[in-house]
């Protein structure tokens, strides 16, 4: 018997434990072992029912993602086949689902006639997050078990469903009182099934999933959902598979599902999303940090600045039960900040996402203060004051006076030099950058800026803390703008310049949203604040002074007080949330082009794509070469989680690999030639890009 499963016969029951740490991923060897064990039990006259469980507590996280895209993914016995064979056994199978049954793991449980969970159990079909659809019966069996609407909701959201809801839906038949009692409860259930002569498989609750559905249900559902899918393939394939479940007998539906799954598996989108899955896990692996690196306890947090950013940061911690002291300089600003946090939670209460009781519990964890002395017992202090070096340095001088030894002192700067901030303290080893993205309680990205003297345990602690509050922490070295905002500079520069040369803000934004970015450059600047962007640029003026056209339109809008959405005018005009084009911006572009002697011409969408994206990619590659980013995948995570880059393109670095590094280099060289002095000024290929292409490499890596 394979070491990947445990096998035991007890009192008429075969207990088969999945034992492939860490998550019992259903790679080929485990699939084979499960099948052999189940067939052995089926052939053993002493066995009357089979209980499948996770020998290490967790049931199963699904197919082995690392097999996708290789022959191993469908190597015999493939998962759909294994599960079909399990459904044909003559003895009842009970799945004892500890903690998780995800993807193929839930499909394995669905192939068992009966399922038992425990209070912490979560089930789900998260394949959509990998650009896939359930491919081992999930799209056919789940709608038959729970009905079409809840099945579609689970597959399209990829969300995990907690035990109580799974019981209500009929995915679970029974709940054990605790995780420790799960196996006993499943065995007891199996004995009851034997005693009552229950069939190997109970009759399905919805043998025809379409029964009871309104005639136009699927059509309406699709029309409602489709705008959210943008150009993603996977939701469309999920939908086709569920249509098949409604129209075809089970066996034909299963065959259709496999065909659709293979189409998804081969798609560039799924390759990109699988890359993102592994990049998220890689991002936590930092040279010099491992499991033996000590962590500092974080029991109390302080946040300095009760503005939108500080308030959002504070919410992250109270959401997970960590008390926060919020410091402001003036009483009225503090009151406003505290009221805003309460208001944010009230919106969640109104939407039914939070109970009144929880709201009060969270607010009770929050204390306002005007006095630095109240920060003396904080384990982690995060400064979120005005983005100016002298102001931040002053805050850190005060922190150095009042904070206890060993407290971690973090700055939320978005572009300033963390080394210069650390230098004003007597404890630079305790200083780090924690760059949250606005709105800080929503956006998943946390750039963790590892300054020159930051201690390893400070870095390790903040990375762990970041994950505790539900962020994707990515480590960056110190440079102007770190990974994200430094890459934003050349990308936004090209967008501005293209408007001078003849494009409109709307055309530029449409090209970018056409690629499925959440927002174009100009809508993003209007949202973030044209003023904020100006101030960041201004701090770096010396580096751009040689180009008088550099973001000139942005500078002019700033001087006109057109700060974006908050003033109702920026690159666009706003009425509430409605955005309109503004011909004054076009007129401004025409005037500036005349003054700067920039020839105006019609601009093709392809040129907008290439100039904005290639400059973004080029800067990312340069950051990797400089060691500011540790891996290309880290850069992708920054842009996906902080700047709305679509995960199904895999982030800018992965997108460049899909386009072809040679094409990106050729594009940069083309614009270096064709854009005259401007091209020679900015279109310089990153040396690493040139080296990679010269060596015939297709992946972006340090080299
Ligand atoms: C599928 O099932 C398709 C089928 O419908 C059809 C097939 C024909 N495979 O996240 P963690 C690794 S698609 C391979 O850090 P956590 C992970 O890389 C699949 N490896 O822990 C990491 O390795 P390392 C549908 C996997 O506790 C280690 O396990 N299922 C898989 O924060 C620990 O992971 C999913 O999409 C896997 N399936 O979270 C579930 N899962 O240590 C994907 C994990 O070397 N998995 N690994 O870096 C998850 O969502 C989370 O990993 C989980 C644990 C919630 C399970």
- The 10s digit of each residue's pLDDT in 329-379 is 999 999 999 999 999 999 999 999 999 999 999 999 999 999 999 999 999
Ligand 1 pocket, residue 137 CB under 6 Å: no
Apex 638 CA angle, 687 and 442, nearest 5: 165
CB atoms within 10 A of CB 143: 28
Cβ–ligand 1 distance for 124 under 6 Å, the answer no
d(CA 96, CA 189): 10
Which distant-in-sequence residues (6+ apart) come within 8 Å of 143 by Cβ?
151, 152, 206, 209, 242, 245, 246
Give 190 Cα–ligand 1 centroid separation in angstroms.
Answer: 29
Ligand 1 centre and the CA of 102: distance in Å? 9
Ligand 1 atom closest to 282 (CA)? 48
The protein residue with its alpha carbon nearest to ligand 1, atom 49, reads: 61
Q: What is the dihedral of CA 675, 638, 656, 284, to 10 degrees?
A: 150
Q: Is the CB of 102 under 6 A from ligand 1?
A: yes
Atom of ligand 1 nearest to the CA of 467: 32
Closest C-alpha to ligand 1, atom 32: 281
Query: Is 134 a pocket residue for ligand 1 (Cβ < 6 Å)?
Result: yes
Nearest to 684 by CA among 606, 635, 614, 626: 614
Helix (H) or strand (E) holding 655: helix 652-659
Q: In sequence order, what are the residues at sequence separation of 6 or more whose Cβ sits closer than 8 angstroms to the Cβ of residue 314? A: 301, 303, 306, 324, 326, 341, 366
Which residue from 21, 23, 101 has its CB within 8 A of the most atoms of ligand 1, so it is best to mutate?
23
- Are 377 and 405 spatial neighbours (Cβ–Cβ below 8 Å)? no
Whether residue 25 has its Cβ less than 6 Å from ligand 1? yes
Query: In the β-sheet with 445-449, what is the strand arrangement from edge to edge?
Result: 366-369, 324-327, 301-304, 380-383, 408-411, 431-436, 445-449, 472-476
Task: Return the structure tokens found at 651.
Answer: 């982030």
CA-285 nearest atom, ligand 1: 48
Does residue 25 contact residue 61 with C-beta atoms inside 8 Å? yes
The H or E element that residue 419 is part of is helix 418-422
Ligand 1 mean position, distance from CA 161 (Å): 17
Query: What's residue 576's pLDDT?
Result: 77
Q: Whose CA is nearest to atom 33 of ligand 1?
A: 22
- CA 464–ligand 1 middle distance (angstroms): 19
How far apart, in Å, do the first and last CA atoms of the chain sit? 45
Q: Calculate the alpha carbon distances from 85 to 31, 194, 336, 685 in Å.
A: 12, 21, 63, 56
Can you give the pLDDT at residue 1?
A: 61
Q: Per the residue annotation, which of 32, 39, 118, 127 is the catalytic one?
A: 127
What is the rounded distance in angstroms from the CA atom of residue 647 to the CA atom of residue 130? 9
Q: Does the Cβ of 127 fall within 6 Å of ligand 1?
A: yes
- Check pocket membership of 63 for ligand 1, CB cut-off 6 A: yes
Active site residue 168: no
Q: Looking at the chain, how many residues does it have?
A: 703
* CATH T-level assignment (fold) for domain 301-476: Rossmann fold (3.40.50)
DSSP class of residue 60 equals B
- Mutating to test ligand 1, I would choose from 54, 65, 260 the residue with most ligand atoms within 8 A of its C-beta, which is 65
From CA 372, how far away is CA 403, in angstroms rounded? 9
Q: Rounded to the nearest 5 degrees, what angle is found at the Cα of 507, between the Cα atoms of 506 and 510?
A: 80
Cα 476 to ligand 1 centroid, rounded to whole Å: 26
Distance in Å, CA 21 to ligand 1 centroid: 11
Ligand 1 centroid – CA 18 distance (Å):
15
Question: Cα-flanking dihedrals φ and ψ of residue 321, to 5°?
Answer: 85, 15
- Catalytic annotation, pick one of 107, 501, 506, 607: 107
Q: Does residue 647 have its Cβ closer than 6 Å to ligand 1? A: no
Domain boundaries 484-627+660-694, CATH class: mainly alpha
Q: How far apart are CA 601 and CA 688, in angstroms?
A: 33
The confidence score (pLDDT) of residue 275 equals 98
Cα 417 from Cα 443, distance rounded (Å): 23
Low-confidence ranges of the chain (pLDDT < 70): 1
- The best mutation among 20, 21, 34, 62 to test binding of ligand 1, ranked by most ligand atoms within 8 Å of the C-beta, falls on 62
Of 397, 401, 437, the residue nearest 421 (C-alpha): 397
Alpha carbon of 152 to ligand 1 centroid (Å): 22
Residue 589 Cβ inside 6 Å of ligand 1? The answer reads no
pLDDT the model gives residue 535: 87
**CB proximity list for 357: less than 8 A, separation 6 or greater:** none
30 within ligand 1 shell (Cβ under 6 A): no
Task: Decide if 566 contacts 572 (C-beta within 8 A).
Answer: no
User: What is the model's pLDDT at position 290?
Assistant: 93
Q: How far apart are CA 219 and CA 243, in angstroms?
A: 10
CA of 65 to the centre of ligand 1 (A): 7
Residue whose Cα lies nearest atom 52 of ligand 1: it is 61
CA of 150 to the centre of ligand 1 (A): 23
Take atom 56 of ligand 1 and give the residue whose Cα is closest: 61
Residue 517 CB less than 6 A away from ligand 1: no
Minimum-distance ligand 1 atom for the alpha carbon of 125: 25
pLDDT of 536 reads 84
Q: Which atom of ligand 1 is nearest to the CA of 138?
A: 5
**Does any ligand 1 atom lie closer than 6 A to the CB of residue 237?**
no
Q: Does 64 contact ligand 1 (Cβ within 6 A)? A: yes
Active-site annotation holds for 127: yes
Q: What ranges in 471-571 are assigned the alpha helix state H?
A: 482-501, 505-514, 521-528, 530-539, 552-559
> 60 C-alpha to center of ligand 1: Å?
9
Residue 448: strand pairing partners: 434, 475
> Class of 5-265 per CATH?
alpha beta
Atom of ligand 1 nearest to the CA of 135: 6
Q: Residue 151 Cα, ligand 1 centroid: separation in angstroms?
A: 21
CA-CA distance, 602 to 504, in Å (whole number)? 10
Residue nearest atom 5 in ligand 1 by C-alpha distance: 134
Which backbone phi and psi does 206 adopt, to 5 degrees?
-120, 75
- CA–CA gap between residue 397 and residue 576 (Å, rounded): 42
Q: Domains of the chain: which residue ranges?
A: 5-265, 301-476, 484-627+660-694
Ligand 1 pocket member 27 (CB < 6 A): no
Among 617, 638, 624, smallest CA distance to 474 is for 638
């Amino acid at each position: 018997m394979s070491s990947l499963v445990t096998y035991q016969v007890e009192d008429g029951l075969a207990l088969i434990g999945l034992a492939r740490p860490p998550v019992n991923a259903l790679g080929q060897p485990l699939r084979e072992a499960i099948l052999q064990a189940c067939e052995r039990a089926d052939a053993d006259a002493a066995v009357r029912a089979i209980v499948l469980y996770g020998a290490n507590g967790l049931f199963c996280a699904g197919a082995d993602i690392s097999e996708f895209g290789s022959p191993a993914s469908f190597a015999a016995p493939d998962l759909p086949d294994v599960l079909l064979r399990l459904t044909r056994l003559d003895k009842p199978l009970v799945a004892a689902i500890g903690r998780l049954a995800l993807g193929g793991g839930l499909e394995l449980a669905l192939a068992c006639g009966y399922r038992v969970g425990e209070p912490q159990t979560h089930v789900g079909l998260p394949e959509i997050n990998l650009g896939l659809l359930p491919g081992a019966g999930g799209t056919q069996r789940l709608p038959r078990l729970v009905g079409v609407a809840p099945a579609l909701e689970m597959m399209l959201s990829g969300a995990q469903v907690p035990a109580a809801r799974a019981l209500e839906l009929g995915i679970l038949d029974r709940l054990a009182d605790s995780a420790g009692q799960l196996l006993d409860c499943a065995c007891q259930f199996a004995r009851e099934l034997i005693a009552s002569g229950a069939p190997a498989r109970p009759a399905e609750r919805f043998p025809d999933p379409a029964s009871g559905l309104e005639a136009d249900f699927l059509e309406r559902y699709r029309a409602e959902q489709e705008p959210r899918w943008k150009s993603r393939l996977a939701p469309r394939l999920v939908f086709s598979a569920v249509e098949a479940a409604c129209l075809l007998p089970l066996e034909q539906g299963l065959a259709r599902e496999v065909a659709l799954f293979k189409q998804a598996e081969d798609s560039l989108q799924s390759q990109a999303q699988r890359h993102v899955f592994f990049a998220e896990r890689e991002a936590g692996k930092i040279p010099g940090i491992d499991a033996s690196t000590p962590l500092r306890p974080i029991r109390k947090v302080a946040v300095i600045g009760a503005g939108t950013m500080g308030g959002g940061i504070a919410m992250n911690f109270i959401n997970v039960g960590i008390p926060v002291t919020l410091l402001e300089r003036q009483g009225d600003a503090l009151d406003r900040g505290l009221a805003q946090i309460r208001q944010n939670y009230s919106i969640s209460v109104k939407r039914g996402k939070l109970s009144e009781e929880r709201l009060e519990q969270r607010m009770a964890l929050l204390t306002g203060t005007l006095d630095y002395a109240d920060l003396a017992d904080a384990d982690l202090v995060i400064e979120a004051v005005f983005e100016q070096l002298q102001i931040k340095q002053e805050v850190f001088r005060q922190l150095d006076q009042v904070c206890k030894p060993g407290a971690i002192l973090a700055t939320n700067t978005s572009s300033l030099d963390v080394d210069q901030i650390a230098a004003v303290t007597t404890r630079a080893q305790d200083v780090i950058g924690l760059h949250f993205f606005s709105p800080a309680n929503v956006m998943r990205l946390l750039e963790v800026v590892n300054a020159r003297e930051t201690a390893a345990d400070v870095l390790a602690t903040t990375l762990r803390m970041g994950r505790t509050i539900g962020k994707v922490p990515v480590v960056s070295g110190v440079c102007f703008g770190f990974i994200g905002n430094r890459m934003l500079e050349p990308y936004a520069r090209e967008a501005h310049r293209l408007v001078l040369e003849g494009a409109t803000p709307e055309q530029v934004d449409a090209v970018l949203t056409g690629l499925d970015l959440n927002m174009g450059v100009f809508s993003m600047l209007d949202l973030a604040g044209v003023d904020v962007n100006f101030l960041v640029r201004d701090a770096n003026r010396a580096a751009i002074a040689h180009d008088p056209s550099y973001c000139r339109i942005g500078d002019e809008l700033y001087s006109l007080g057109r700060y974006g959405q908050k003033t109702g005018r920026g690159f666009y005009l706003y009425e509430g949330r409605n955005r309109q084009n503004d011909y004054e911006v076009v007129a401004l572009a025409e005037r500036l082009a005349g003054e700067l002697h920039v020839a105006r011409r019609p601009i093709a969408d392809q040129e907008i794509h290439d100039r904005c994206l290639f400059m973004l990619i080029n800067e990312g590659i340069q950051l990797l070469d400089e060691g500011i980013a540790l891996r290309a995948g880290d850069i992708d995570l920054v842009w996906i989680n902080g700047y709305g880059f679509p995960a199904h393109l895999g982030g800018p670095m992965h997108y460049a690999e899909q386009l072809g590094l040679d094409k990106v280099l050729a594009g940069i060289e083309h614009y270096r030639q064709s854009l005259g002095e401007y091209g020679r000024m900015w279109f310089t290929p990153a040396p690493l890009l040139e080296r990679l292409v010269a060596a015939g490499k297709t992946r972006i890596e340090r080299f």
